[in-house]
Amino acid sequence: MIHEDGELSGNTAENSSAKSKTRCGTIAIIGRPNVGKSTLLNKILGEKLSITSAKPQTTRQQILGVKTQQNTQWIYLDTPGLHQQTEHRLSRTMVREAINSLAKVDVIGFVIEAGRWTAEDDAILQRLKQQEHPVILIVNKVDKIKDKARLLPFLKSCYEKMSFLAVIPLSAQKDDNVTALEKTIAEQLPFAEFVYPADQYTDRNQRFLAAEFIREKLMRSLYKELPYWLTVVIEEFNEEKKLIKISAVVLTERPGQKAIIIGKKGELLKKVGTEARLDMEQCFGKKVYLNLWVKVKAGWAEENND
In the annotated binding site for GTP, the residues are 31-38, 78-82, 140-143
Burial class (CB in 10 A: 0-12, 13-18, 19+), 256: exposed
Question: How many distinct helices (H) and strands (E) make up the chain?
Answer: 8, 9
Q: Which secondary-structure segment (H or E) carries 178?
A: helix 178-186
**Burial category of 85 from C-beta neighbours within 10 Å (exposed 0-12, middle 13-18, buried 19 and up):** exposed
Whether 254 and 298 have beta carbons less than 8 Å apart is answered as yes
Query: Which positions make up the binding site?
Result: 31-38, 78-82, 140-143
Instruction: Give the per-residue SS3 of 235-303.
Output: EEEEECCCEEEEEEEEEECCHHHHHHHHCHHHHHHHHHHHHHHHHHHHHHCCEEEEEEEEEECCCHHHC
* Nearest residue to 216 (alpha-carbon basis) of 265, 263, 179, 271: 271
User: How far are the Cα atoms of 40, 64, 145, 190 from residue 196, in angstroms, in the given order?
Assistant: 21, 12, 38, 15
